[in-house]
Chains A and B, each alone.
Chain A
Amino acid sequence: MNNLLNSYFVKTHKLEISITIIAVVLFLIYFLGAPHVFTRFPIYRAFMQSMPFFGIIAISATFVVTLGEIDLSFPSIVGITSLIFGIIMTSTDGNFFIAFILATSLGMFAGLVNGLLVTKIGIPSIVATIGTLFFWRGLVNVISQGSGIAIVDVADGTWHHMIFVEKLFGKIPMQFIWFIVLTGLMQWVYRYHKFGNHIHFVGDNKASAQMMGINVDNVKIIAFVQLGFFSALAGIFTMYEMLYFWPTQGEGLMLTTLAAVFVGGTSVFGGKGTIFGTFIGVLIIGSLESGIVALGLSGFYVKFINGLMITVAVTVYALIQRRKS
């Protein structure tokens, strides 16, 4: 046992192990407290259906947080890109390719704006993205004039609807498959690609990274751009699931998404993080509401327990970090 605790794997994966234990304990509580719900499949299908929408963004946001930056504008990027997707789909009689390319391009453009404001103008990201949060949401309201867009006629029953949100073998929601694949891919990029490596160095120490020949500004800009892309993608998934655009789409994503990243163990100080942790963070945050209700507690407890989870998790990480240094 002692050997196991001192092994290289354990030493280098303390965060991942802690978060996994927290998740296992949580699901054990669900399981024991509400066996009638958690021994049956539908609750898991519901999880697989709902988690990917914010999960995809959380995975992508882990890159930005590892930089020591933050992006608060993604809920509005989801809004504006969904709106554009809806408009193009309905006006082209369901031309998926044009709608997809324009919506994701707009997402990347919004990310580029964030990146330029932070690097070239020098506005702290928390301030710059509050600005763009309001800007893009405001634009959604102006363009949509407050009304929604139904895409059910042009999207329902199409092959794209199938590959985005229908059920594989009638059981597994496709968005969950995409979420798993993207998580794996992003984990690979995060740890083993030059870009992921540079994210860690810039987040760790900007000045050092620059002296080592890393283009700090470019790394940051690309990080914001990819978050814009994945926000658009999450918006498109939501559109297919709901077959409807509504002007507040994306609002309410902010806290769950960032909570998943921080509960997952990525440091707000930058330089260290884990995609796997964010994934588990998504499972935790995404299951709390149904879990709590299934346990027989009233819905009023949801926020309270959410807050408790986040506080406990970040306290554990802070303690691990302090013992190290």
Chain B
Amino acid sequence: MAEELLKLQNIYKNFGNVKVLKDVNIKINKGEVVALIGDNGAGKSTLIKVITGVHSPNSGKVFFKEKEVQIKSVAQSRKMGIEAVYQERALCDQQELYRNIFAGREITNSFGFLDIKKQRKEAEKILRDYIGFTSKAITVDSQVMGLSGGEKQGVAFGRSLYFNSDLIVLDEPTMGLSIQETEKVLNFVKGLKNENKSAIFIDHNIIHVYGAADRFIILDRGEVVGEFNKEDISREELVQKMIQLHESGKIKVED
């Protein structure tokens, strides 16, 4: 039996009168990659923001490493070992890379002043060892705005590896990337499993999802409407399910 890392139980989330999540139950095991799929407005982004502490659920329980937790802030979820990699928005354009990598958890002395030297040195290590940047044009002092989409994604991944998190949350990790860059991202996701780390990711492209994920959770209008292990469903069947959902608003579950 696989070891459980994260469990969400009966999660509800409203924004005003809009019920965005309705009784969501999901579970992620250690070393498992779970893909969250569904149309726009299905509640995918809200769900991962609940996990990363950006939003608090209105009701429901969250268990992390089999202990009940209340994730109240991004800082807290990071401390627990949950790291988010948000497409594009993960970084601030006009700030230097070394500042971006440590934003929100700066290396400081006891008066709160930054240890710039150490931040730059560690950032250098992340660029070289975790991301494998070799281009001389990109240094720790580069502003983010000069980077390509894939390079930005690489920095965000490097950051999550460096902070040694157990669960990596990926929001649309391949959106806007070239084919080669997409390949790199998917390899990265697969590589996580070797280190017994878990990932949950959102992607519109079922072809990407299928290759990298162990399990698929389908969300529709705030509810989990289907859950499949990769060995139980082929890529074509998964695509069929999504089309079916799109047309009829329902998924036929045969078993």
Contact A193 B95 (CB under 8 A): no
Cα separation A271 to B91 with both chains bound (whole Å): 12
Q: For chain B residues 36-93, which have a beta carbon within 8 Å of chain A?
A: 52, 54, 73-75, 78, 84, 86, 89-93
Within 8 A of B (CB), among A181-225: 188, 192-195, 197-198, 200-201, 204-205, 207-215
Least distance between A78 CB and chain B CB atoms (Å)? 28
Interface size for A (C-beta < 8 A) is 26
Q: Which of B91, B111, B145 has the most CB of A within 10 A?
A: B91
B116 is an interface residue with CB less than 8 A from chain A: yes
Q: List 6 A-B contacts (CB under 8 A).
A: A204-B92, A208-B86, A209-B104, A212-B74, A213-B103, A214-B104
Supposing A197-B103, A197-B106, A208-B90 touch, asked if A213 and B73 sit within 8 A by C-beta, the answer is yes
Closest to B144 in A: A204
> Is the Cβ of A208 less than 8 Å from the Cβ of B106?
no
Contacts of B74 in A (CB 8 A): 210-213
Partner of A213, one of B91, B104, B112, B116: B104
Complex Cα–Cα for A212 and B92 (A): 10
Contact A211 to B86, CB < 8 A, known contacts A12-B141, A201-B92, A204-B95? yes
Give the CA-CA distance A209 to B100 in the complex, in Å. Answer: 10
Tell me which residues across on chain A come within 8 A of B114, comparing CB atoms.
192-194, 197
**Which residues on B sit within 8 Å (CB–CB) of A201?**
92, 95, 99, 103-104
Q: Which residues of B contact A271 (CB under 8 A)?
A: 92-95
B75 to A204, Cβ gap below 8 A? no
Interface membership of B234, Cβ < 8 A: no
Closest B residue to A270 by beta carbon equals B94
Given contacts A212-B92, A212-B103, 8 further A-B contacts (CB under 8 A): A12-B141, A193-B112, A197-B103, A205-B92, A211-B74, A213-B103, A214-B104, A271-B94
Is B252 in contact with chain A by the CB < 8 A criterion? no
What's the least CB distance linking A255 to chain B, in Å? 27
Instruction: A212 to B106: give the CA distance in the assembly, Å.
Output: 11
Are A205 and B93 in contact, CB atoms less than 8 angstroms apart?
yes
- A272 at interface, CB cutoff 8 A: yes
Min CB–CB distance B181 → chain A (angstroms):
20
The residue from A12, A194, A208 contacting B91, defined by CB atoms under 8 A apart: A208
A194 vs B105: C-alpha distance in the bound complex, in angstroms? 9
How far is A292 from B74 in the complex, measured between Cα atoms in Å? 54
A193–B99 CA distance with the chains assembled, in angstroms = 12
Which 9 A/B pairs are nearest by Cβ-Cβ distance? A213-B104, A213-B74, A204-B92, A212-B104, A212-B103, A213-B75, A271-B94, A194-B112, A214-B104
B93 neighbours in A (Cβ, 8 Å): 204-205, 271
User: Which residues of chain B from 107 to 137 have a CB within 8 Å of any chain A CB?
Assistant: 108, 111-114, 116
Q: Report the minimum CB–CB distance from A12 to chain B (whole Å).
A: 7
Q: Give the docked Cα–Cα distance between A208 and B99 (Å).
A: 13
Does A8 count as interface, using CB distance less than 8 angstroms? Answer: yes
Interface centre among A197, A200, A271, A324 (most CB of B within 10 A): A197
- Asked if A325 is an interface residue, CB under 8 A from chain B, the answer is yes
Residue pair B95, A210 in contact (C-beta under 8 Å): no
Contact present for A211 and B89 (CB under 8 Å): yes
If the complex has contacts A8-B141, A214-B104, A272-B94, are A205 and B112 also in contact, measured as CB distance less than 8 A? no
Question: Are A325 and B145 within 8 A (Cβ)?
Answer: yes
> B89 and A207: CB pair below 8 A?
yes
Q: What's the Cα separation between A193 and B91 when bound, in Å?
A: 19
Contacting residues of chain B (156-190) with chain A, CB-CB under 8 angstroms: none
Q: Within the assembled complex, what's the spacing in Å between the Cα atoms of A135 and B216?
A: 57
Chain B residue nearest in CB terms to A267:
B94
Query: Can you name the residue of chain B whose Cβ is closest to the Cβ of A194?
Result: B112
Which residues from A are CB-within-8-Å of B73?
A: 213, 215
Q: Write the nearest CB–CB distance from A215 to chain B, whole angstroms.
A: 8
Q: In the docked arrangement, what's the CA distance between A200 and B103, Å?
A: 10
For B159, give the chain A residue with the smallest CB separation. A212
Q: How far is the CA of A205 from the CA of B92 in the complex (A)?
A: 6
Q: How far is the CB of A323 from chain B (nearest CB, A)?
A: 13
Q: Which of A8, A194, A200, A272 contacts B108 (CB 8 A)?
A: A194
Contacts A211-B74, A213-B74 known; A194 to B106 CB distance under 8 Å? yes
Out of B84, B90, B94, name the residue touching A204 (CB < 8 Å): B94
Given A213-B105, A271-B95, A325-B145, check contact A208 B89 (CB 8 Å).
Answer: yes
Cα–Cα, bound, A208→B94 (Å): 12
How long is the Cα–Cα vector from A267 to B54 in the complex, in angstroms? 28
Cα–Cα, bound, A209→B86 (Å): 12
Point out the residues of chain B lying under 8 angstroms from A192, CB to CB: 113-114, 116
Knowing A211-B74, A211-B84 touch, does A200 contact B112 (C-beta < 8 A)? no
Cβ distance A156 to chain B, nearest Cβ, rounded Å: 38
Closest partner residue, chain A, to B79 (CB atom): A213
> B54 contacts which of A195, A200, A211 (Cβ < 8 Å)?
A211
| Cα–Cα, bound, A195→B104 (Å) | 10
A251 to B114 Cα, complex, angstroms: 38
Output the residue of A8, A201, A213, A324 with the most chain B CB within 10 A: A213
Q: Which residue on chain A has the smallest CB distance to residue B105? A: A213
Q: Which residues of B contact A325 (CB under 8 A)?
A: 145
Interface residues of A in 17-31 (CB under 8 A from B): none
